């Protein structure tokens, strides 16, 4: 009986640890997972997962955009979640935003409340994550870092101006730099 | 930030130069019409054969429209091949899209949407190639379109140079900000002169990148053009007393920019291919062979059709880089990921 209780307690504890909020980034089938989403994931899947995880409904906008030199119009959807009482890397998570083109995830943004300490913590975590994936790392400027692996670009930066007091983490599809450069600019 | 400032300065300088040049030519201001420069078409009867390609979802029709097309026979629609590929270069599924007829007003209720049973992409079309020539495809409808088809031109397009062509579509009426193009609910049309391939292939324009199976139309000074969302739609001319479709909206660098004309698939060049599926008349000329750099086709299969797909050769990749540099060279290449 005692053993069962101990095992159950451990299971609960491990489950809690597995979903620890300090986990900033993860990997599934060779793809980076951020905010429960992967690049290329379908609109419905990503939003269903996010709604369940963040226990919130998204606010979405849709419009048509142009890509590269094509004269075909592409569907662009942007959906934002404002989680309450959720944490990211131990800090209050204020916003999660998904960007879709053709109903597939092309960019994910997370914003957490914090400053340099939080930036360093997340950066260290992501550095550790990418150490085994042979990522190209670079500092874009003071307080802004980027990791590139295959067609994925992960970035973390400290908010400035109106966004001061926030750390912004994002994952995006690298092909956007050709197809939709406006979407790679914050 | 420095880069943005430089770009802003460069754009300002270009705009100033452009306006100054127009003044010198006696034009008071830059004439910026789009489909860019066109006008709304309020009556479907003006162009009964025009259709909109729309995604199959529960969003509003205007949001779902992504390309145009034209009815060329009761159950056949002509469009651009690239309309049938997603951003990654994968062919769309038949169930992904419908054909909307009588859709001059995308805001109207009860716009008919027809199912597609077959998509046929020209075997020489290479998605993501530097110059995606042979940008032509056929859609077979599940049911009768019930609309009057347009006549396709079977004569060489060489004779069209200088004639006014009309382009129609639901594409952007303003693409200054590619992240937020402005799309109309109403079908638009614009008149532009057909330009010779020689002019369009000039160093200041597409610099030799275009093939004999492509047409150009537009103004040297820009201002009138097809744009994002117009792909697949028709370019028509009134030739020898008959309205005929001569081109399909394919691509262009930007929209309505000086020297960068709209590029269209030259329909007469493909009459023989179209006749394999639906007879539209005998070609009245011998199409010129394409340049030797066209790669050798390989065959791939999808759904119930066999299509040929071209491998992307090294020369294509090289020419893509070349084209990008040539077209984007004047300060448009952007630093990657400046956030």
What are B17-60's pLDDT values in tens digits?
333 333 332 222 333 344 888 888 877 788 999 999 999 988 89
**From CA A96, how far away is CA A112, in angstroms rounded?**
9
Q: Does residue B135 have an active-site annotation?
A: yes
Nearest to B310 by CA among B134, B124, B135: B124
Three-state SS letters, A32-71? EEECCECCCCEHHHHHHHHHHHHCCCCEEEEEEECCCCEC
SS3 at position B38: coil
Digit-coded pLDDT (tens) for B190-242: 999 999 999 999 999 999 999 999 999 999 999 999 999 999 999 999 988 89
A18 to chain B, any CB pair closer than 8 A? The answer is no
pLDDT in tens, B137-157: 999 999 999 999 999 999 999
Q: What is the per-residue pLDDT for A10?
A: 44
Nearest to A179 by CA among B87, B238, B78: B87
- The separation between CA A106 and the C-alpha centre of its own chain, rounded to angstroms, equals 11
- Chain A segment 39-98 residues within 8 A of B by beta carbon are 40, 62-67, 69-76
Q: How far is residue A39 from each of residues A11, A135, B272, B324, measured CA to CA in Å? A: 31, 17, 42, 26
Residue ranges covered by each domain of chain B: 2-30
Q: What is the pLDDT of residue A119?
A: 95
Residue B10 pLDDT: 44
Q: Write down the catalytic residue from B134, B145, B205, B231.
A: B231
- Whether the CB-CB separation of A152 and A33 falls below 8 Å is answered with no
Neighbouring C-beta atoms of residue B205, cutoff 10 Å: 24
Q: Which residues of A, range 111-130, sit inside 8 Å of B by Cβ?
A: none
Of the candidates B33, B70, B82, B316, the residue annotated as catalytic is B82
Partners of residue B87 in chain A, C-beta under 8 Å:
67, 74, 101-102, 104, 179
- Whole-number average pLDDT of chain B: 80
Token pair listed for A159 = 């908010």
DSSP H helical ranges for B100-216: 197-200
B288-319, pLDDT tens digit by residue?
766 533 333 333 333 433 333 333 333 333 33
* Comparison of pLDDT for B176 and A79, the residue scoring more: A79
Which residue of chain A comes nearest to B253, CA vs CA?
A: A69
Q: Is B122 one of the annotated active-site residues of the chain?
A: no
Domain coordinates of chain A in residue numbers? 24-183
Catalytic (active site) residue B82: yes
Determine the average pLDDT of the residues in B74-94.
95
**Distance (Å, rounded) from C-alpha A152 to C-alpha A148?**
6
Four-residue CA torsion sign, B248, B251, B256, B260: negative
Can you give the pTM of this predicted structure?
Answer: 0.78
- Residues pairing with B94 in the sheet: none
Nearby residues of B276 by Cβ (< 8 Å), 6 or more positions away: none
Low-confidence stretches of chain A (pLDDT beneath 70): 1-23, 186
């Amino acid at each position: 009986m005692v053993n069962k209780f101990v095992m159950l307690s451990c299971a609960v504890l491990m489950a809690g640890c597995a979903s620890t909020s300090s986990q900033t980034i993860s990997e599934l089938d060779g793809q980076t997972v951020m905010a429960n989403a992967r690049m290329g994931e379908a609109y419905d899947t990503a939003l269903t997962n996010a709604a369940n995880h963040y226990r919130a409904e998204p606010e979405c906008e849709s419009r048509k955009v142009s890509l590269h030199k094509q004269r075909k119009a592409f569907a662009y959807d942007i959906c934002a979640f404002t989680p309450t009482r959720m944490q990211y890397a131990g800090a209050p998570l204020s916003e999660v935003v998904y960007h879709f083109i053709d109903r597939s995830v092309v960019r994910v943004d997370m914003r957490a409340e914090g400053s340099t300490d939080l930036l360093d913590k997340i950066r260290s975590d992501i550095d550790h994550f990418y150490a085994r994936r042979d990522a190209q790392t670079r500092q874009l400027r003071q307080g802004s870092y980027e990791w590139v692996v295959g067609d994925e670009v992960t970035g973390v930066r400290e908010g400035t101006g109106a966004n001061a007091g926030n750390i912004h983490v994002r994952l995006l599809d690298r092909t956007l730099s050709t197809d939709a450069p406006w979407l790679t600019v914050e | 930030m420095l880069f943005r400032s430089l770009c802003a300065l460069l754009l300002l300088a270009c705009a100033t130069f452009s306006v100054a040049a127009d003044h010198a030519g006696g034009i008071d201001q830059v004439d910026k019409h789009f489909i860019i420069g066109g006008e709304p078409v309020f009556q479907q009867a003006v162009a009964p054969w025009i259709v909109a390609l729309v995604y199959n979802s529960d969003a509003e029709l205007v949001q779902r429209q992504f390309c145009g097309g034209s009815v060329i026979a009761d159950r056949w629609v002509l469009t651009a091949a690239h309309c049938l590929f997603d951003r990654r270069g994968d062919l769309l599924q038949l169930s992904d899209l419908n054909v909307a007829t009588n859709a001059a007003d995308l805001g109207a209720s009860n716009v008919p949407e027809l199912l597609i049973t077959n998509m046929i992409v020209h075997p020489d079309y290479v998605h993501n190639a530097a110059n995606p020539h042979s940008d032509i495809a056929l859609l077979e409808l599940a049911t009768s379109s019930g609309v009057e088809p347009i006549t396709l031109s079977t004569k060489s397009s060489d004779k069209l140079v200088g004639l006014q062509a009309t382009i129609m579509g639901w594409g952007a009426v303003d693409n200054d900000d590619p992240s937020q193009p402005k799309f109309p609910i109403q079908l638009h049309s614009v008149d532009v002169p057909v330009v010779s391939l020689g002019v369009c292939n000039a160093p200041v324009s597409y610099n030799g990148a275009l093939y004999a199976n492509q047409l150009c139309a537009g103004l040297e000074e820009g201002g009138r053009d097809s744009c994002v969302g117009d792909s697949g739609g028709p370019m028509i001319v009134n030739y020898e007393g008959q309205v005929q479709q001569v081109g399909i909206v394919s691509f262009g660098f930007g929209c309505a920019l000086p020297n960068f004309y709209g590029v269209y698939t030259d329909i007469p060049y493909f009459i023989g291919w179209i006749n394999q599926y639906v007879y539209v008349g005998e070609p009245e000329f011998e199409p010129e062979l394409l340049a030797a750099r066209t790669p050798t086709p390989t065959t791939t299969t999808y759904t119930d059709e066999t299509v040929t797909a071209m491998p992307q050769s090294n020369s294509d990749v090289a020419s893509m880089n070349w084209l990008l540099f040539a077209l984007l060279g004047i300060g448009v290449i952007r630093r990657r990921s400046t956030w």
